[in-house]
């Protein structure tokens, strides 16, 4: 039985994709397909163009998202990192928009090379880097990364501040905060206050109301905006949960906005 399954899969892999049923080619849950189709219909009402756009969208999700790095200016500059990557056999190029970004072209692991262990760069998507550019944290300011998660944005914001002022990183996971601490030690960045909270209503947050210059809220989301990196999300997420998630997102945004002093800046972002 196992042999027959293997032979069948091998045969399908060689088939012309256009010969497969549309449902198979899309590989999307019906509710996501319907949602995307309705959005495309707003742009162009012609059925054939909507169908073409839907197939293009679904096909794009099958390609792995690129791997981007952010140069840590405390340790190196972009040219030095590109040179170190080349000497380690990693093909890379500067990102198109992020000024400190590098896009990996090869498939070699960058975590194994000496420059990574020395803290010369961090793994961070170009889009995430651009969020930090929008925050534009300055030396001497009080800044909050409201949903710190893996800490990539925390480190980028701290680098902009040259370890001056105060940066608070909030997260509900002690384990994630521990990973951020390890990254900070490798990067050479100092004085980040890692704050464990139970929710957006935690009393530790309320003590900072009206005192913060800049707040980044990269809000928890459904994961549907990162399907190229996590393709299983589309099958694990349910349409009914999207509305509940939006309510939670608004609650977090409301709590974060109260931290700002007059004239402060809030950058809100979500992948979906």
115-128 average pLDDT score: 96
Res. 5 pLDDT band, cuts 50 70 90: very low
Is 106 part of any domain?
yes
Q: Compute the average pLDDT of residues 113-123.
A: 96
Domains identified in the chain, total number: 3
Other CB atoms within a 10 A radius of the CB of residue 251 amount to 13
pTM metric for this prediction: 0.86
Same domain, yes or no: 27 and 109:
no
Complete edge-to-edge strand list for the sheet that includes strand 192-196 = 192-196, 166-171, 142-145, 212-218, 260-269
Strand bridging mode 101-104 / 67-71 = antiparallel
CATH of the domain at 259: 3.40.50.150
271 has catalytic annotation: yes
User: Within a domain: residue 130?
Assistant: no
Report the DSSP pairing between strands 92-94 and 101-104.
antiparallel
pLDDT, position 10: 46
d(CA 121, CA 75): 8
Q: Does residue 112 form part of some domain?
A: yes
- In this structure, the answer to whether residues 49 and 68 fall within a common structural domain is no
183-192 confidence digits (pLDDT tens):
999 999 999 9
In the 8-state DSSP scheme, what is residue 71?
E
How far is Cα 193 from Cα 6, in angstroms, rounded to an integer? 53
- Structural contact between residues 120 and 150, judged by C-beta atoms closer than 8 angstroms: no
Residue 14: predicted pLDDT: 54
Question: Could you say which of 102, 123, 144 is where a domain stops?
Answer: 123
- Tell me, yes or no, whether 158 lies in a domain: yes
Look at 267 and 45; give whichever has higher pLDDT. Answer: 267
Q: 49 and 108: one domain?
A: no
Is there a domain that residue 26 lies in? yes
Q: How far apart are CA 93 and CA 116, in angstroms?
A: 16
pLDDT band at 24 (very low <50, low <70, confident <90, very high): confident
In a domain, 128, yes or no: no
Task: Kindly state whether residues 154 and 247 are assigned to the same domain.
Answer: yes
For range 258-266, the mean pLDDT: 97
Clarify whether residues 232 and 119 are in a common domain.
Answer: no
pLDDT digits 0-9 by tens, 223-246: 888 888 888 888 998 888 888 899
139 falls in which pLDDT band (50, 70, 90)?
very high
| 47 lies in the same domain as 78 | no
Question: Would residue 131 count as lying in a domain?
Answer: no
- 162 and 86 in a single domain? The answer is no
- Same-domain status, 234 and 111: no
Q: Which of 132, 139, 221, 271 is catalytic?
A: 271
Residue 201, domain extent: 136-269
Residues 184 and 223 in one domain: yes
DSSP 146: T
Distance CA 161, CA 18 (A): 52
- In the three-class reduction of DSSP (H, G, I as helix; E, B as strand; rest coil), residue 23 is classed as helix
């Amino acid at each position: 039985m196992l042999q027959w399954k293997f032979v069948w899969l091998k045969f399908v892999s060689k088939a012309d994709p256009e010969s497969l049923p549309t449902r198979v080619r899309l590989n999307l849950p019906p509710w996501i397909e319907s949602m995307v189709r309705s959005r495309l219909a707003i742009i162009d009402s012609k059925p054939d163009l909507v169908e073409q756009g839907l197939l293009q969208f679904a096909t794009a999700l099958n390609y792995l998202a690129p791997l981007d790095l952010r140069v840590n200016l405390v340790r190196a500059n972009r040219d030095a990192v590109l040179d170190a990557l080349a000497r380690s056999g990693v093909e890379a190029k500067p990102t198109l928009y992020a000024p400190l970004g590098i896009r990996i072209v090869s498939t070699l692991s960058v975590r194994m090379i000496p420059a990574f262990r020395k803290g010369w760069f961090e793994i961070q998507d170009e889009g995430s880097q651009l969020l930090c550019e929008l925050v534009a944290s300055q030396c001497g300011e009080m800044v909050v990364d409201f949903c710190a998660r893996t800490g990539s944005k925390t480190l980028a914001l701290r680098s902009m501040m040259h370890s001056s002022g105060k940066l608070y990183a909030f997260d509900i996971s002690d384990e994630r905060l521990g990973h951020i601490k390890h990254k900070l030690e490798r990067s050479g960045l100092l004085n980040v206050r890692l704050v464990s909270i139970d929710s957006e209503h935690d009393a530790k947050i309320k003590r900072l109301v009206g005192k913060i210059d800049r707040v980044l809220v990269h809000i928890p989301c459904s994961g549907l905006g990162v399907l190229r990196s996590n393709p299983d999300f589309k099958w694990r997420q349910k349409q009914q949960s999207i509305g509940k998630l939006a309510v939670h997102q608004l609650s977090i945004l409301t709590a974060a906005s109260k931290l700002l002093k007059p004239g402060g800046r809030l950058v809100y972002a979500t992948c979906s």
